[in-house]
């Protein structure tokens, strides 16, 4: 039985993603019009261990797909390859297509004004509000109750808690709550929901096109400004200066500002002290890791959601539901990802997994949940192994004895954390995401060619995951 299980799980993991089949499924499940307008030009670049890299022609197209169709596309991909847990984008920008994208957005804006809230401004046609993330489907527990109640209160009365600052780890529901606030207010107020990264993009674009007056007017004339992942403004002094003045202008005229981040205001690095002081002057709420009861409620809710929305007939045993809820403790996102793996296994083999099979399918997630891995710890351990300092690793020097350890640390960061390519680049002295991709590809190739290097990588991984001192 053990050999059969190993063979099954091995075949399950090495199956390559067939992008042609994915495209056919997208066309069938999302509709021909949506596919032809938005999804047809997606170019498949490469498949990695737990994610795929795809290319689109413009940032506008990336953001439009992300805000409206990303979850559905990911579900379709998972039905073909259970190991894929996320999608990364790269931009191959063609300036000729930007006007076409804007025209499509304007057309859809008129046809579907009930689903997405836009500020009527031809200069920026962008808003991240997702109609599927509301207060009703936010699963409540002790770890997020205060954040939920504060968000609900703000959506009912803008005079409360200004600014509202929500912080917590990856996948804890911060974005969901910001989105829910936007949904509640968009019918009566001018609402703007944007990521810090997107704010930066508009800021830079406005400077280049000499349209800063439009930029200022656009953001300062909103009733409600929601900014996600504010920590990505770190080190961007000019953008922080503009954000500071925008923030003050909104507060002075009585507009509501809601912010999310991965840490408390006082722990934000390379953010101006006056900005952190403004954040701390409002209501600061921490969203903590979900406890067992909340995780169990989430598993139950997600199974019910799949049955309703996707007509998925799956009846996981209570034993397996409780096992997943008990063992996957890192984030809600990891919890949902584990459930998706189980469902994909069930679809492929046309059977419900046993507890033993569940443990095999989720082996990597179970290991990671026991030992929370950070990029900082990866860098420290890799530096110890190669006998170099962290300053040397993070420097711009390209000496051979530094390049390989740096590439190794980047590869392990991609393998063992949920950080995106740009996020990893920021931890390595703000290196570009293309550098991260190159490092990952290089180490993956060398692992195939060099048995000694492959063994060293495995030893480093064991050290990072299990703190096995004897392995190094």
Give the lowest-confidence range in 63-67, 291-295, 436-440: 63-67
Fold designation for 145-287: Rossmann fold (3.40.50)
Is residue 11 pLDDT above 90, yes or no? no
CB of 303 within 8 A of CB of 314? yes
Q: How confident is the model at residue 210 (pLDDT cuts 50, 70, 90)?
A: confident
CB of 340 within 8 A of CB of 78? yes
Domain with CATH 1.10.8.60 in the chain: 296-364
pLDDT of 386-415, one tens digit each?
888 888 888 888 887 888 899 999 999 888
Report pLDDT for 128. 66
pLDDT of 442-461, one tens digit each?
988 888 888 788 888 888 88
Residue 424: exposed, middle, or buried by beta-carbon count in 10 A (0-12, 13-18, 19+)?
Answer: buried
Is residue 8 pLDDT above 50, yes or no? no
Domain with CATH 3.30.300.180 in the chain: 16-111
* The pair of three-digit structure tokens given for residue 456, joined into one six-digit string: 């060293």
Give the lowest-confidence range in 20-24, 29-33, 179-183: 29-33
CATH code for the domain defined by 16-111: 3.30.300.180
In three-state secondary structure terms, 47 is strand
Is residue 374 pLDDT above 80, yes or no? yes
Q: How confident is the model at residue 352 (pLDDT cuts 50, 70, 90)?
A: confident
CB of 464 within 8 A of CB of 373? yes
CA distance 116 to 295: 30
Is residue 10 pLDDT above 60, yes or no? no
CA distance 355 to 361: 10
- Per-residue CA distances from 256 to 101, 181, 186 (Å): 30, 11, 13
Give the lowest-confidence range in 96-100, 312-316, 418-422, 456-460: 96-100
Report pLDDT for 226. 92
| CATH homologous superfamily, domain 375-471 | DnaA protein, C-terminal DNA-binding domain (1.10.1750.10)
Give the rounded percent of residues in the chain with a pLDDT score beyond 90: 10
Domain with CATH 1.10.1750.10 in the chain: 375-471
Is residue 5 pLDDT above 60, yes or no? no
pLDDT of 224-265, one tens digit each?
999 998 988 888 888 899 899 989 999 988 899 999 998 889
**Closest to 239 (Cα-Cα) out of 285, 278, 289, 205:** 205
Is residue 162 pLDDT above 70, yes or no? yes
Is residue 291 pLDDT above 50, yes or no? yes
Q: How confident is the model at residue 95 (pLDDT cuts 50, 70, 90)?
A: very low
Is residue 276 pLDDT above 50, yes or no? yes
CATH code for the domain defined by 296-364: 1.10.8.60
CA distance 84 to 87: 8
Is residue 148 pLDDT above 90, yes or no? yes
What is the rounded average pLDDT for all residues in the chain? 79
């Amino acid at each position: 039985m053990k050999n059969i299980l190993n063979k099954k799980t091995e075949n399950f993991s090495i199956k390559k993603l067939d992008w042609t089949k994915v495209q056919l499924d997208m066309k069938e499940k999302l509709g021909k019009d949506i596919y032809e307008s938005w999804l047809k030009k997606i170019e498949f670049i490469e498949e990695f261990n737990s994610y795929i890299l795809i290319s689109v022609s413009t940032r506008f197209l990336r953001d439009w797909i992300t805000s409206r169709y990303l979850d559905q596309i990911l579900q379709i991909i998972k039905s073909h390859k259970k190991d894929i847990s996320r999608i990364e984008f790269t931009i191959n920008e063609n300036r000729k297509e930007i006007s076409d994208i804007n025209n499509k957005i304007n057309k859809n804006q008129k046809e579907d004004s009930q689903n997405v809230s836009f500020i009527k401004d031809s200069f920026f046609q962008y808003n991240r509000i997702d109609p599927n993330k509301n207060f009703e489907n936010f699963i409540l527990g002790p770890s997020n109750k205060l954040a939920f109640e504060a968000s609900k209160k703000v959506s009912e009365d803008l005079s409360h808690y200004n600014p509202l600052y929500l912080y917590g780890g990856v996948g804890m529901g911060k974005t969901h709550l910001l989105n829910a606030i936007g949904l509640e207010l968009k019918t009566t107020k001018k609402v703007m929901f944007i990521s810090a990264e997107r704010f930066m993009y508009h800021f830079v674009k406005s400077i280049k096109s000499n349209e800063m007056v439009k930029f200022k007017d656009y953001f300062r004339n909103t009733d409600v400004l929601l900014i996600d992942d504010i920590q990505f403004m770190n080190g961007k002094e000019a953008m922080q200066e503009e954000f500071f003045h925008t923030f003050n202008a909104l507060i002075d005229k009585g507009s509501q500002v809601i912010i999310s981040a991965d840490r408390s205001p006082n722990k934000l690095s390379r953010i101006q002290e006056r900005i952190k002081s403004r954040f701390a002057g409002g209501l600061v709420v921490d969203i903590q890791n979900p406890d067992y009861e909340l995780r169990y409620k989430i598993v139950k809710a997600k199974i019910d959601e799949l049955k309703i929305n996707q007509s998925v007939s799956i009846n996981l045993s209570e034993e397996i539901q409780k096992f997943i809820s008990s063992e996957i403790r890192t984030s809600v996102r990891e919890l949902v990802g584990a459930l998706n793996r189980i469902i994909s296994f069930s679809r492929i083999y046309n059977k419900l997994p046993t507890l033993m099979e569940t443990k095999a399918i989720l082996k990597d997630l179970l290991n990671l949940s026991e030992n929370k891995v950070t990029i900082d710890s990866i860098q420290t351990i890799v530096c110890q192994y190669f006998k170099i300092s962290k300053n040397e690793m993070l420097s711009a020097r390209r000496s051979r004895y530094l390049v390989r350890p740096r590439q190794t640390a980047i590869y392990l960061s991609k393998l063992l954390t949920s950080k995106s390519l740009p996020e990893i680049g920021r931890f390595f002295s703000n290196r570009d995401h293309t550098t991260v991709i190159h490092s990952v590809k290089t180490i993956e190739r060398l692992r195939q060619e060099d048995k000694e290097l492959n063994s060293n990588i495995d030893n480093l991984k064991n050290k990072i995951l299990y703190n096995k001192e004897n392995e190094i």
